[in-house]
Amino acid sequence: MTENKAKYQHLAPETLEFIGSPRKMLIDNEWVASSSKETINTINPANSTVLTSVPSANETDVDTAVRAARNAFNNYWKNDVSPAQRANLLFKLADLMERDTKVLVQLETLDNGKPLEKAAFDIEGASNHLKYYAGWATKIEGSTVPVDSGKLVYTQKEPLGVVGLIVPWNFPLMIAMWKLAPALACGNCCILKPAEQTPLTALYLGKLIIEAGFPAGVVNIVTGGGIPTGQAMTQHMGIDKISFTGSTEVGRSILEGAARSNLKKVSLELGGKSPNVIFDDANLEEALNSLPWSSFYNSGQECTLGSRVYVQESIFDKTLEFLKKKAAAMTIGNGLDNPDLGPMISEEQLETVINYIQVGKQEGATLVYGGARCNGSLSSGYFLEPTIFTTQNENITIVREEIFGPVVVISKFDDFDEAVRKANATEYGLAAAVWTSDLSKAHRFAQAVDAGTVWVNGYDLFDASVPFGGFKQSGNGKEMGKSGIDLYTREKSVWIVF
């Protein structure tokens, strides 16, 4: 930890230069302003100061980006760049990201607020993802299908064409890469929209994309708010697919935009309210040590957060005491000081979460720890204490809705059936965890829980090779692994009569 602080804390000249003047966005390998000249500020949530400004892309700008992408796709990317050449470009980009890790880590910490060590984890994850999909570029195969004699049928997987990638602010570069890497490996041209709160690492990546040698128009990066920029992408007739990560509400509006325009394909990675279930036969030390992080990681701004903890009756008090003590010991501060928890992303998000805390109290949950905005030297940023509630009421708002802050709700259960019933009592289905030493119970739980990812005796385990995506209202489509290829290709069947 201290090592990473020393490695990244002193701002590099490139970092200072990057935030030292207004940024432009990347269209057709050119750095451009918005056609309206409008800009938006991006701020440092640790102290609410403006870092720099970025263009606010409107419908016209999005249209220019789509034309550049389509032109690149039709005129060279589709036919003239071989899978091996695509792979080389992706490997080259990963190398450049590794070369410039320090700058990327610092920009992510400044823009998003997350601690340096956590930002470093994200940047490393992003370049690993790129390398994983670079390997796939040369292995996207079709099949031959046995049919009647005198006929041959083969299938092939083709790129979709121009894809729009809309990403959130909680893991800015990492989630961008979850989309960009497979989309490019499959041979698509891309329009990437980072969240308005955190555009900086995506724009720095744009520099590296040019340096790596990607032809013009293959990757375009447009900045701006959900409205107008994201909406213009969703409704554009020339975009073949939108891949989105963010709120369920915006996910719905993207499906609507697709339905009303060209029926573009849509994959959605949405919210969650993931159950973290601890049985009394678990290795308690391991379960407890994981609990502060599964409850508060990234200041709770994480779609897989274990925000509903269910603990078997006999170990409930001990678990609660432990978490209270750990929450009190967590350091909170400016990400550049590498604390345990950084700020919330914005004043707005902080207010939303504080409002949830009020509602939790009003609806009868017991506030056991935290619940307040941090003051003193932290009052100029958007800092919130890690917060613990207990309740046995399953119907209250803080048990049902995604809060997206460092707020965890802990409840008791008696037996296996009650644990499963409670775990599944949600409209979401992104992830779930179970802690037990009983192998058969672990398997039975994994089978019974309605979640796209299940962790047994662990939490938040990810790998570029393992499919990730939600059931129910947590979304559709699986990112990562081989499944990620299906999101960015279409399958053609060819019949030959001989």
Neighbours of 139 (CB within 10 A): 11
**Candidate segments 61-69, 85-93, 118-126, 220-228, binder of ligand NAP by CB under 6 A:** 220-228
Q: Which of 39, 188, 197, 301 touches Mg ion (CB under 5 A)? A: 197
**Candidate segments 176-184, 267-275, 285-293, 310-318, binder of ligand NAP by CB under 6 A:** 267-275
Verify whether residue 269 is a known catalytic residue.
yes
Q: Which of 226, 306, 381, 481 touches ligand NAP (CB under 6 A)? A: 226
Verify whether residue 374 is a known catalytic residue.
no
**Candidate segments 195-203, 268-276, 285-293, 467-475, binder of Mg ion by CB under 5 A:** 195-203
Helix, strand, coil abundance in the chain, percent, nearest 5: 45, 20, 35
User: What is the pattern of x (binds ligand NAP, CB under 6 A) and - over residues 386-405?
Assistant: ----------------x-x-
CA distance 411 to 9: 40
User: What is the pattern of x (binds ligand NAP, CB under 6 A) and - over residues 437-476?
Assistant: ----------------------------------------
CA distance 371 to 396: 17
DSSP β-bridge partners for residue 241: 163, 265
Which of 129/193 has CB closer to ligand NAP? 193
Residue 32, SS3? strand
**Candidate segments 62-70, 136-144, 268-276, 449-457, binder of ligand NAP by CB under 6 A:** 268-276
DSSP β-bridge partners for residue 493: 155
Q: Shortest distance, CB of residue 11 to ligand NAP, whole angstroms?
A: 25
Biggest CA–CA distance in the chain, Å, is: 81
Q: Shortest distance, CB of residue 292 to ligand NAP, whole angstroms?
A: 20
Burial state string for 315-347 with b = 16 or more CB within 10 A and e = fewer than 16: bbeebbebbeebbeebebbbbbebbbbbbbbbe
Catalytic residue among 108, 196, 269, 479: 269
Q: Considering the rule CB under 6 A, would residue 135 count as an interface residue with ligand NAP?
A: no
Which of 12/33 has CB closer to ligand NAP? 33
**Candidate segments 119-127, 222-230, 313-321, 458-466, binder of ligand NAP by CB under 6 A:** 222-230
Q: Considering the rule CB under 6 A, would residue 271 count as an interface residue with ligand NAP?
A: yes
Q: Considering the rule CB under 5 A, would residue 294 count as an interface residue with Mg ion?
A: no
Q: Which of Mg ion, ligand NAP, none interacts with 111 (beta carbon under 5 to 8 A by kind)?
A: Mg ion
Q: Which of 169, 204, 214, 356 touches ligand NAP (CB under 6 A)? A: 169
DSSP β-bridge partners for residue 25: 32
CA distance 23 to 450: 43
Torsion of CA 398, 399, 401, 403, to 10 degrees: 50
Catalytic residue among 303, 385, 402, 479: 303
Give the DSSP H/E element, type plus range, for residue 219: strand 219-221
Using an 8 Å Cβ cutoff, are 212 and 93 in contact?
A: yes
Sheet hosting strand 275-278, strand order edge to edge: 366-369, 387-390, 407-413, 308-312, 275-278, 431-435, 453-456
Neighbours of 67 (CB within 10 A): 16
Q: Which of positions 153-172 make contact with Mg ion (CB under 5 A)? A: none
Q: Which of Mg ion, ligand NAP, none interacts with 34 (beta carbon under 5 to 8 A by kind)?
A: none
Residues in the chain: 498
Applying CB under 6 A, the residues found at the interface with ligand NAP are 166-170, 193, 195-196, 225-227, 230-231, 234, 245-247, 250, 253-254, 269-271, 303, 402, 404
Active site residues: 269, 303
Applying CB under 5 A, the residues found at the interface with Mg ion are 42, 111, 197
